[in-house]
Structure 1
């Protein structure tokens, strides 16, 4: 059963029973009012059914309503696609996660990247910072910055959220597959996943479905090009495609075996931190988990500050009794993705305005709790 429900809906049918207005309407509506969010798209998998809940408008100017086919910038949720591409390359024997990064980028031979593995890049344990400096505008300048970068701690000992790290992994994965990253994503991975309305570069014919984003000052914005944008935060997608992505994570939506193995490999636990287990871009928390634990683990402090990380050897088999999640943001968009294998439950939340991770996590937690009551 598929529902597309307007913000004025009072009750929602889920799993054959009536889900009261408390979830998701009573969760999402106050959130939109609090942060003056023009539009949100929510999709839920529960008990073998997928439901869509659409709120508000894609643009305050056009008043075009949100649907499950509205394109949103998904920010760092893009990183889970990049890690899956690298995992697929490894499945195809094109690379190994034990490889040093400099093995793939000869210009970095003799640099700190001699001691940074591809696994470090895939798990935020390379030590590279959140952003490259503002002065870095192109690939030549990026490589020069990489050459001179020095870690503050030994790679593999600290988990530091990093666009340059996953961005480098995307570059290397594409190189191993002998094609540009955008081609590898748009012509290989996304079609293999059956995601027909997801793009790094939105075609002109699809621009009409591309939501307008709004920043904290309510000014209209969209993501601007920059070094490693495609690899780190550049995907645009729909709630329909992204709930399919989460169904694939749950193994509820089948794809070709090589791709399913690549997806599954990204769920293995490689590093333990004080807040969560770090898989390949996904983070997971053993069940039961509290709302406060999830908020703390996804807080801006966790992104801006490093945490000690302990290598798990051998990698931990992906637990079923766990809450897997990933946030994503651009200046004008907010994303939160959750899947829980043991419950066969998943949620994708998309908004065309930035609002804090804490509130995204709390909203998803309360919706999932209501589903399970």
Structure 2
């Protein structure tokens, strides 16, 4: 916190079937309100792991199949390159090169469809991993439409509520506004979530460390769940592509455990976000591994987050901060803590 001038942090730890939440600093420099287990943080792209979970749930319930093309649910895309993209490609960042951000001239679903109709892949699908809000955001839109509902409402009902995450939101209720931490940019300017097309599906969740560590426990099969949801969560741990550093699951990024810090830093480097990365398809897909390190980073202009867990060791960590700071610092901190826990347990 001192190194990166972070006002407040909440850290969730799960180890051996017990969860802990440790709170540090303030939720706002202006009010000096302390961080608590209920303080709400923006988790940025960790939202994508929830979107993948809802999609896997939709598949388990028979609403869609990851082997289907986007045009199955969005018929307006029939006969286009994007219409031929399979849903699995959107969940693994491998459709052939979508931009990281939604273009500035796309502000609603109609404009998104128009943009996607004109899109052409830069590479053959399944040959490069290109990290994208557009891909996973559109997958969330497709999952919700296949289920005949609104994405935020479905996420609240089928995922948050089912997991016992009572302090997690896309649309923030007015009654919960006082729990919402103030975010700060790298230059310490106050800021909050910037919304836009596909923001709920790609980076829109506000949640607490207490709720997030429960999500980690669910991903380690540590809590009782509806069987369909439990299997959907397991489905997000299937490995589909390998890069130099890691295996790409449904949004989750996976490493064999134990894993060296240098490998994690490589897999979570800026290049993994901004540059196309060659991938090798895993055929057949790799079944979920318990002796693996799964992780995801999340950033907005004013918040930085990281989640990692090792099911075989029954340990996981969530680090939430109301400051946009270096991903390398998040990964290094988590690796040190989980390494120490792994030695002791």
Q: How does the TM-score come out when normalised to structure 2?
A: 0.97
Residue 305 of structure 1: CA displacement? 0.4
Q: How does the TM-score come out when normalised to structure 1?
A: 0.90
Q: Distance in 1 between matches of 2:190 and 2:89?
A: 36
Unaligned runs of 5+ in 1: 1-31
Deviations 1:256-286 (A, max 9, x none): 1010000000001011111100000000000
| 1:114-263 superposed matches below 5 A | 114-126=83-95, 127-263=97-233
Q: Distance in 2 between matches of 1:328 and 1:61?
A: 25
Q: Distance in 2 between matches of 1:310 and 1:103?
A: 26
Deviations 1:21-46 (A, max 9, x none): xxxxxxxxxxx111111000001111
Deviations 1:302-357 (A, max 9, x none): 10001111221221111111100000000000110001011100000000000111
Among 267, 277, 294, the alignment partner of 1:297 is 267
In the alignment, which residue of structure 2 is the partner of 1:28? none
Residue 128 of structure 1: CA displacement? 1.4
1:360 alignment partner, SS class: helix
In the alignment, which residue of structure 1 is the partner of 2:8? 39
Unaligned runs of 5+ in 2: none
In the alignment, which residue of structure 2 is the partner of 1:75? 44
Deviations 1:179-221 (A, max 9, x none): 0111111222211111111000110000000000001121111
Among 24, 30, 41, the alignment partner of 1:61 is 30
Q: Distance in 1 between matches of 2:83 and 2:233?
A: 27
Q: Distance in 2 between matches of 1:94 and 1:371?
A: 40
In the alignment, which residue of structure 2 is the partner of 1:285? 255
Residue 48 of structure 1: CA displacement? 2.2
Among 262, 278, 283, the alignment partner of 1:313 is 283
Instruction: Name the stretch that deviates more: 126-135 or 329-338.
Output: 126-135
Residue 135 of structure 1: CA displacement? 2.2
Does the CA contact (< 8 Å) of 1:115 and 1:155 recur in 2?
A: no
Deviations 1:19-76 (A, max 9, x none): xxxxxxxxxxxxx111111000001111222122111000011111001110000100
Does the CA contact (< 8 Å) of 2:54 and 2:158 recur in 1?
A: no
In the alignment, which residue of structure 2 is the partner of 1:20? none
1:35 alignment partner, SS class: coil
Q: Distance in 1 between matches of 2:136 and 2:313?
A: 30
Q: Distance in 2 between matches of 1:101 and 1:128?
A: 14
Q: Distance in 2 between matches of 1:105 and 1:177?
A: 13
1:108 aligns with 2:105: no
Quote the RMSD (CA, aligned, Å).
Answer: 1.0
In the alignment, which residue of structure 2 is the partner of 1:7? none
